[in-house]
């Protein structure tokens, strides 16, 4: 029933159904060569189990690439719960999820994702120790958003240096789509560097904060992807770079935090052909998982986290250079680099087992 291409490289796929709480969930472990598979748990009202299954496979592979490129001792995995986060989520359901995660005996470590907040994660944690991203307790890593934003800020600086030859962001115009948790922290960094901010959001309150605190100018939601700026930073939704939007882009660089910004892989080629430098999303937005990773060691150290987040700059420069040299899109090069890291880890593990 599973598309072979979708299942490519996955180690394990588990389906859980808990009659009493109504839990229906998939947990996918893509790759554990680098360490236990870590990734968020998403609650989403999928139209079918097949849609949920396709999503968990795609997302778990993405986590393997993200964790590998961030240099973390973690593999990639993901959980999806089929349901509405507002109406179907209950303490019983979250506890049942905790027991399901526990049954995998540490092969998968869960954290927050769409539809799951830190309070939910605390409930999951009452049934399993294989969960991270906790808001409180010994070695809790807290809100990942400030770290995600810092990584994006570093990534924007890398892209500006590479594409525009500038060491400073001062005087540049940057359009930020979505000023929620990540977008607000990012605006703060950019504002402090003298950037002219253009922002859009569907929530007026979030726009008001960006205007008042960071002197941002509001752009209509249907104009933000075609506005003239040096950098576009998508920090709201996925698939914003697609057949409809790419022709209208008016920027030199795209560097933002939203996951899966390219609707399809070939949109990376379209960006390259237009001369737009694209910072692969799972590389630039890894700050949050780096912070969570600090918690999984059981010895959270913020200076270790910051060092890793700052290294996103170097990783991106490396990707840009290789993409240019090989005349290939940055998203394809990043995927290949991640696969190389995984292959190396697999070979090292095999050698260790044989010894």
Q: Which residues make up the interface to ligand NAD (CB under 6 A)?
A: 144-145, 148, 177-183, 200-203, 206, 221, 235-237, 257-259, 285, 288
Q: Which of 4, 24, 66, 78 is catalytic?
A: 78
78 as an active site residue: the answer is yes
> Which residue lies nearer to ligand NAD by CB, 237 or 348?
237
247 CB contacts (<8 Å, ≥6 apart)?
A: none
> Which residue lies nearer to ligand NAD by CB, 104 or 235?
235
Q: How far apart are the first and last CA of the chain?
A: 38
Kindly state the tokens that stand for 184: 């607000």
Q: How far is CA 235 from CA 27, 254, 257, 301, in A?
A: 26, 11, 5, 27
> Which residue lies nearer to ligand NAD by CB, 119 or 170?
119
3-state helix, strand, coil in the chain (%, to 5): 45, 15, 40
Report DSSP letters for 279-304, one per residue.
Answer: --HHHHTTHHHHHHHHHHTTS--HHH
Q: For residues 303 and 30, give the distance between their C-alpha atoms in angstroms, rounded to a whole number.
A: 29
- Counted residue by residue, the chain has a size of 355
User: How far apart are CB 147 and ligand NAD at their closest, in Å?
Assistant: 7
Q: How far is CA 261 from CA 164, 257, 268, 329, in A?
A: 22, 9, 10, 14
User: How far apart are CB 172 and ligand NAD at their closest, in Å?
Assistant: 21
User: How far apart are CB 287 and ligand NAD at their closest, in Å?
Assistant: 7
> Which residue lies nearer to ligand NAD by CB, 98 or 183?
183
Q: What are the two backbone dihedrals, phi and then psi, of residue 6, each rounded to the nearest 5 degrees?
A: -65, -35
**SS3 call for 337:** helix
> Which residue lies nearer to ligand NAD by CB, 81 or 100?
81
User: How far apart are CB 326 and ligand NAD at their closest, in Å?
Assistant: 27
User: How far apart are CB 161 and ligand NAD at their closest, in Å?
Assistant: 23
- Which residues does the annotation mark as catalytic? 78
């Amino acid at each position: 029933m599973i598309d072979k291409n979708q299942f490519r490289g996955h180690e394990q796929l588990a389906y859980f159904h808990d009659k009493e709480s109504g839990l229906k969930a998939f947990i996918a472990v893509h790759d554990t060569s680098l360490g236990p598979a870590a990734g968020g748990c998403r609650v989403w009202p999928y139209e079918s189990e097949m849609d949920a299954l396709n999503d968990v496979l795609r997302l778990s592979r993405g986590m393997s690439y993200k964790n590998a490129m961030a240099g973390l001792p973690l593999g990639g995995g993901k959980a999806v719960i089929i349901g509405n986060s507002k109406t179907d989520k209950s303490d019983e359901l979250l506890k049942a999820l905790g027991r399901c995660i526990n049954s995998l005996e540490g092969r998968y470590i869960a954290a927050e994702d769409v539809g799951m907040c830190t309070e939910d994660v605390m409930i999951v944690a009452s049934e399993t120790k294989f969960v991270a991203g906790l808001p409180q307790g010994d070695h809790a890593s807290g809100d990942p958003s400030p770290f995600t934003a810092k990584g994006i800020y570093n990534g924007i600086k890398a892209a500006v240096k590479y594409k525009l030859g500038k060491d400073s962001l001062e005087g540049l115009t940057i359009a930020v789509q979505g000023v929620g948790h990540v977008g607000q922290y990012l605006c703060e960094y950019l504002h402090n560097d003298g950037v002219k901010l253009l922002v859009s959001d569907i929530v007026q309150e979030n726009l008001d904060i960006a205007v008042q605190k960071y002197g941002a100018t509001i752009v209509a939601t249907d104009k933000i992807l075609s506005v003239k700026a040096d950098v576009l930073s998508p920090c709201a939704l996925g698939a914003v770079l697609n057949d409809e939007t790419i022709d209208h882009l008016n920027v030199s660089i795209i560097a933002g935090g939203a996951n899966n910004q390219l609707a399809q892989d070939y949109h990376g080629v379209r960006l390259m052909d237009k001369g737009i430098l694209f910072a692969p999303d799972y590389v630039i937005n890894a700050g949050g998982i780096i912070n969570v990773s600090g918690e999984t060691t059981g010895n959270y150290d913020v200076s270790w986290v910051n060092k890793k987040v700052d290294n996103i700059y170097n990783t991106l420069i490396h990707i840009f250079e290789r993409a240019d040299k090989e005349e290939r899109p940055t998203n394809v090069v990043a995927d290949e680099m991640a696969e190389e890291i995984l292959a190396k880890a697999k070979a090292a593990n095999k050698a260790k087992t044989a010894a």
